[in-house]
Chains A and B, each alone.
Chain A
Amino acid sequence: MSEEIMNTPLDPEEVNTEINEAESEAAETAEETAEATVQEAAEEAEETAQDAADASKEAFEAESEAIAEETAAEAAAANKKPEKKHRLSYERRKGLYGYGFIAIWALGTIYFFILPFIESLIYSFNKTEVNQGGMKMEWIGLKNYRNAFRKDQDYSKALVEMLQSTVLRTPLILIFAIFIAVILNQKFKGRTFARAVFFLPVIIATGPVIDIINGNMDQGGFSGGAEQFSTMFEANLVDQLLNFLGVYNISDTLTETLNTLITDIFDLVWNSGIQILLILSALQGIPVSSKEAAQIEGATAWEFFWKVTIPYISPMILASVVYTIVDSFVDPQNSVMSIVLNKASNWEHGYSAAMAWAYFAIVAVFLAIVVAFINKFVYYEVE
């Protein structure tokens, strides 16, 4: 517990000065012990250090849990001090409150994010074995990484495929999302319904429901993978649509081309809900005056789109790009992730961690390049 407290972003110096002002008991012990640790013998230092830890714990708890009370104490202290000093410390005190506000998150992040994150990095350099007492590790350096790239053929292949498909899919999803968002931003009857429908995939597609919809059911382990039933792709969607509308027997080539198109579109539509939403929200931020001005100047809808709309929504386009890439990257169904998870469920934790880390590093670099590139074209309105 005390370790976590030491790790919190509270700057000890600032705490001390802060508490000095308050002249609380805790501060005194903290100060004393601080001096003591420097000057006095080791035994005493240990004792006092513990005291200090307790004191800082108290101070910290007071900070995060009962900020209101603290303020009262501080206000009292501030009243005692000369006016000048109070003004000087105002910004800093506000800053301390900032630490107070994020303290809960910081604690949680250390325990639930940073520690496991680093732990998995350590795994990746080790040969791991799970037994009763936890994880048994043996340091093998970079061997896991070397194995992943040199020996494992699936891994590098999946990695390349993954990157390729991301590069291809992201612009497609983006263009589609912008197109749909622009349409959904126009006024027409049934707009609310259409918006509700387009947002539906966000609610459904994140769960295992999409697996069943996609017919991707061989994870249960009983079907040999030979016979997969897809409710979606087994059926000829174009025929279904046409039959649904009461049209039968149009030429085969037409339906075939349409069919491949529609299969892609299914993928597209079911993966671009959030992006449509983001861009729609950006579109609504475009001031009406700009549209009026463009009309007076005689701009066509096409010109308006390229010269007004796109710059306005460009920050959101960037956000959508990042979201799309991250989303396809963390999807447990993509090929690399499934290899990684497979290895983990085979108890090869070290190897799987190495794969995951290599993957993560590559995607992070990829993301950084994309963001840096797009950021050049993004137009930020000066506020």
Chain B
Amino acid sequence: MATKKEEKQFEKERKAAQKARYKRMKEVGLDKYLTPEQIAYNRRRKWIGAVWPFFRFVILFGLCFVILYPLIFMLSTAFRPNEQMNDPSVVWLPKSFTMQNIYDVWDVMSFDKTVVNTVILNIVASILQVITCSITGYGFARFKFKGKSILFAIVVLQIIVPPQITTIPLYLQYAYFKPEFLAKLLTNGETSLINSGWTMYLPALFANGLRAGLFIFIFRQFFRGLPKELEDAAYLDGCSPLYTFVKIMCPNAKSSFLTVFLFSIVWYWNDYYVSSSFFTKNDTVALMLKNLNTNLAQTLFDGQQVSVRQIIVWLEAGCLLSITPILIMYIFLQRYFIEGIERSGLAN
């Protein structure tokens, strides 16, 4: 295998050679070498090659603007003093910058505490989820057993059944958790798991966390794509399947693990439906953001009724605060998000 650099070099050389050949042909007269159709084809390609990049740029620029517009707006609003929201002369750049909005929102959301809380919840749940989903995915990818297709159909069902259907029964299950001694053990003597992190950890521990079905599916596809010889060699050496999985398959699946882990973090971070059903005090960033306008009205306007327009600067500041951690992660690990899912072979 040539390295990437070498490949680039080859590409360059090939293109140069092609160009030189074309030039020589042109000196002699093109119609000696090529049929009229080929000449027309080449001409058309050349023309498209000249115009298309321009169109492509326009399309991509416009669409990037559409995507980035809310973010630009967020940046522009979050640092602007509230009075300047109604100033018609301010469009993008406010006349003065202020950090006051950020400080206010930080206090209202008690952001430091919330973030630590959320990060712990997310990371623990995601790690548990990645481990158990990978084991399950491997089981589905590499073993033949009775009822496999039915069981896998259940995985697919888990993907398409909205969590809303099962939330209320689940709530009751957590609230009256059986066996009781286990609930007491987990929560220091209470019988209800509601409001404790276990409502997140327990499903994740049993490969049933947020979007677990999808992750099992991704892992299954990935492990199916790995060559069978890897394991056969390990089996011949007398490894047990579990040992083979840990020592042989996992190192090969690193990128896939990372991708699933990142997605899991993102989805847990953004989730407010599940957490709002099972938490009433245990606050996450998404929950805080969801209730931000109510909280803002209470703390900043003494519980008066305020329209969204009046508090938009704080709302946008809150948005900015809560997406910043995930955005920073995305900027640094962007490669793994995009390449990971490509390599994990979601195809087929």
Shortest beta-carbon distance from B348 to chain A in Å? 6
| Contact between chains at A332 and B164 (CB < 8 Å) | yes
Q: Could you tell me if A208 and B290 are in contact, using CB atoms closer than 8 angstroms? A: yes
Closest chain-B Cβ to A293's Cβ sits at a distance in Å of: 15
B63 touching A212, Cβ below 8 Å: no
Query: With the chains together, A282 CA to B59 CA distance in Å?
Result: 22
When A105-B216, A227-B308, A227-B309 are in contact, do A212 and B164 touch as well, CB less than 8 Å?
no
**How many A residues face the partner with a CB closer than 8 A?**
114
- Residue from B143, B289, B291, B307 in contact with A227 in the complex, judged by beta carbons closer than 8 Å: B307
Give min CB distance, B243 to chain A, whole Å: 6
- Specify which chain B residues have a CB less than 8 angstroms from the CB of A94 in the assembled complex: 143-144, 241
Cβ contact within 8 Å between B146 and A108: no
Contact A340 B164, beta carbon cutoff 8 Å? yes
Residue of A nearest to B59 (CB): A183
Kindly provide the distance from the CB of A187 to the nearest chain B CB, expressed in whole angstroms.
10
Q: Known contacts being A98-B143, A104-B206, A282-B347, is A221 close to B342, with CB within 8 Å?
A: no
CB distance from A54 to the nearest CB of B (A): 16
B222 part of interface (Cβ distance < 8 Å) = no
Known: A198-B67, A326-B160. A228 touches B207 (CB 8 A): no
Most A CB contacts (10 A, CB to CB) among B59, B64, B148, B205 go to B64
Q: 7 tightest CB-CB pairs across the interface, nearest first?
A: A108-B206, A98-B143, A101-B139, A207-B270, A71-B240, A119-B169, A330-B162
Contact A95 B143 (CB under 8 A): yes
Is A115 a contact of B169 with CB atoms below 8 Å? yes
Partner of A319 from B66, B316, B326, B346 at Cβ < 8 Å: B346
* Contacts A212-B319, A344-B168 given; does A228 touch B308 at CB 8 Å: yes
A142 within 8 A of B: no
**Taking chain B's interface residues, is the majority helix, strand, or loop, or is none over half, making it mixed?**
helix
Q: Name A195-228 residues within 8 Å CB distance of B.
A: 195-204, 206-209, 211-213, 215, 217, 219-223, 227-228
A217 interface neighbour in B154, B164, B308, Cβ under 8 Å: B308
On whether the beta carbons of B67 and A200 are closer than 8 Å, the reply is: yes
- A306 contacts across to B, CB distance below 8 A: none
B residues in contact with A241, CB < 8 Å: 62, 65
User: B327 → chain A, closest Cβ, in Å?
Assistant: 7
- Find out whether the CB atom of A197 lies under 8 angstroms from the CB atom of B347: no
Q: Across the interface, do A102 and B66 meet the contact criterion of CB distance under 8 Å?
A: no
How many Å lie between the Cα of A221 and that of B290 in the bound state? 12
Q: Is A89 an interface residue (CB 8 A)?
A: no
Interface residues of A in 43-71 (CB under 8 A from B): 67-68, 70-71
